[in-house]
Amino acid sequence: MKNVSLGLLMASVILSQPVLACTKDGSEGFVPKNDFFIPVGAKSISTIDETEFNAVIDQVEGIYAPIVAEYGGKLEVVRKWTDGTVNAYAEQEGNIWKVSMFGGLARHKTITADGFALVVCHEIGHHIGGVPRYGGNDWASNEGQADYFSTTKCLRRVWQNEDNAAVIRKLEVPETLMTACSKAWPNNAQDRDICVRGGMAGESVAKLFAALSWSSKAPKFDTPDTRQVGSTQDSHPATQCRMDTYFQGALCEKSFNEEIGQKDEVSGVCHSSTGQSVGLRPRCWFKPKVQ
């Protein structure tokens, strides 16, 4: 009896440890581990149904599978619609680069379809989002970088041919976001609208972080986190700080077609060393190595 239970315990330990996950120790996902669980059919949930869940994943996966292949990985998006877990994960098993998406996260009432797309982008960002990476040289881009990748690169690529004006017309866009996007993209309405849409996707997931109560204060576009880290933080930044990253990512003037730096922190992104003062990774998690 003892041997059996020990055996089971060992098996479950092994099975529950992904080879490599969203964070170095494999213990966390898009958000820190939590006890929230939102089953199919729960009350007070988002408008995302199974069809939309699959449609969003289809779209992002369709665009990014060939790009991930260029980096040597086979993108595999694991769709766990019926699983109520409020999270998402990235892991690598050899050349299979996995992203696991859970129905519980999609069903949380704060999550819009665009917010959900951002989460898919964040997880892909762990695979190809460049530096900074966990611990400096792990396979995975760190949390802040995966966030930055979502609005500087991934969502822009995904939405490039959509009627973004029509999408944002239906949203209640805070003035701070609208003004900043109009200033960042004065001559191109499509880029401005994608900036607004990216910011609103960021607001959706930042509201999720707040609801999961790692912050008592509601995240806002006009109350940036003013803290400055002494060294780059790899783990999940605070709620407002993550919102700031999405916002600045949406404002960065660099094209999504410029590859995000895989070995250096300057290529393809906005950086003070290349003269930008808007669209930078916020200092609440990022400490530039290059001045």
Q: Which residues bind Zn ion (CB under 5 A)?
A: 22, 143
In which element (H, E) is residue 253 found? Answer: none
Least distance between Zn ion and beta carbon 140 (Å): 8
**Closest CB to Zn ion among 155 and 177?**
155
Tokens of 2: 């003892």
**Closest CB to Zn ion among 143 and 265?**
143
**Closest CB to Zn ion among 87 and 164?**
87
**Which residue sits closest to Zn ion, CB atoms considered?**
22
Which stretches of the chain are DSSP H helices?
Answer: 2-16, 50-70, 103-107, 113-128, 143-149, 155-159, 164-169, 175-184, 189-211, 239-251
**Closest CB to Zn ion among 143 and 244?**
143
In the block, tokens 């996966």 appear at 61
**Closest CB to Zn ion among 17 and 272?**
17
**The residue type at 241:** C
Least distance between Zn ion and beta carbon 143 (Å): 5
Least distance between Zn ion and beta carbon 234 (Å): 10
Least distance between Zn ion and beta carbon 147 (Å): 8
What is the C-alpha separation between 272 and 71, in angstroms, rounded? 28
DSSP string, 170-229: TS---HHHHHHHHHHSTT-HHHHHHHHHHHHHHHHHHHHHHHTTS-SSPP-TTS------
Least distance between Zn ion and beta carbon 8 (Å): 30
